[in-house]
Structure 1
Amino acid sequence: MQDINFLVEQKSGTIGMNFDEVKATLSNGLEEYRHMTFTEDSKTEAKKTVASLRKLKKTVNDKKNEVKKSFMVPYTDFETKVKELDKLIDEPINFINAQVETFERNRVEERKRLISEIYDEVIAENEAVAEYLPLQRIYDSKWENATTTKKAIKEAITEHIEHVEKDLATIRAMESEFEDKGLEKYKITLELSDTIGSMNQYQEQKEEIIKCQKEDEERKRVEEERKKEAEQLIVPTAPEVPNELFTQEKEEFVKPKPCTDTIRYEVTADPFQVVQLESAMREYGIEFRRV
């Protein structure tokens, strides 16, 4: 379509009226009324004057509205024609936009297929990384731009894969018995520092459990030794003395009640929870032993 120039020619209209004459008359009359003192006798004349001025005001405003309406006629006609042109212009705009949008959608879909093909090609050579690095984890919408080359997309995907391979090698080089848990963590976060921190935490928990088990075994050993020593120190029972030999009435002995109670619990927990439970009991000064 050739260029179209929209030309508008506007001629300024003029409106004639006796503005100066009416203004001068009103100004003189206002000056006269300012120095006038109204009485009962002049009240009727004053009312007539007010009515006359109100009539004049109405006439002036009526004329204003009439002239405005007349002046708006060419503009209203101009506006109607402009709206008609708007509709004619919108038709090709909407048609062209629809075609462009359809083309852009098809182009993006084709681009997505290309990105997927590039990913499959690169990941096929690095299958060990595939479960950690699906395409959606690294997808960049910038790859959909027409200005992004196939080479740039391949390089970006390769960079991600090499980074993950390096992290996996680091995790396995630690030779930790908690490597499986570390790899599960890495699969979720793809963060090496988080993974190592998680593996170290498992190791610390294990060491704490082993420490508590050794302490428990040592307590049991000490208790057994004390029990044996106590059995060896038992004094033989003295021979019975006939009651008639006592001249004084035997006083009854009342055994005092213990200040503490011994309560048995059955607890179902994993080793780490047991460590936490025993740590809490130690904190509160509770004596305990494993049965």
Structure 2
Amino acid sequence: MELRIMSPQEDGFVKEIQWNNEELKQEITATMQEYKSLAFTEDNIKDAKADRAKLNKLRTAFENERKQIKKQCMEPYTKFEKQVKEIVALIDEPIALIDSQIKEVDDQKKAQKQKNIEELFGSLGFQNFVTLDKIFDPKWLNASMTMSKIEEQMKSQMFQIGHELETIRKLPDFAFEAKELYKKTLDMNQAIQEGQRLAEIQKRKLAYEAEQKAKVEEQKRQEELRQKEAAQRAAEQESQGTIAEAPEMEEKPPVEPEHQKADPIMSIDFRAWGTREQLMNLRQYMIDNHIRFGKVE
């Protein structure tokens, strides 16, 4: 079975489309130079429109000729292309059938290998939180990957998981939470970062609680101070009230000495401040010296 091209042969193809392009190029270039130097005004705008129409007509003639030549050149190729695609379609049909059968055989092999991999995984004694899907490598299903190589990689992963677990257990804080995340992801870096994140939150929480406790204690101290000052003021006011009310306790006026009978009796209102002892001494002094005193209304 051989594809043979009878016509055209390699030297039979059109190598070049020959036409008077150089001659036309020189003539048109010279003509176009004349248009570049023209300056149209309102008086000769009609001529400008006529020249534009003539140039467009010339341009259209060249474009039409180009498209016609292209069509002529493409006609044999278009026919040839269609014929080749018909033959290729005939070839593609058995190729597709063979591909489907090859794929079916490959799928069966992969299914059997998948089963072998599952059995191997179950026999190695992985940590109870490790499932096959967490460590599975799609390359294991390739025909070039032997079961012995897969076993080697599995054991390596199992030992690595044990080592990473030990590293996580040594975290100073939140090792349990980090380990729980590791069991889900088998990502040691992510687990350690989670432990560090929780430790930072705990640190900020303790600092906040200490700050709040200090505020509460300061408020309590201030309140106790205010209560102490209020009690002291109340005691002072009570002492002053006792002294002020003391004159009402007298039963009869004191007897004036004989030598003072000629002196007129005078009165003066005042308020005294002092300790309880001082105020009581003042009261006794007035009694001893026969000075009448009473409550100021």
TM-score by length of 2: 0.49
Q: Higher helix proportion, which one? A: 2
TM-score by length of 1: 0.50
Larger radius of gyration: 2
Q: Tell me: higher relative CO, structure 1 or 2? Use CA pairs within 8 A at least 6 residues apart.
A: 1
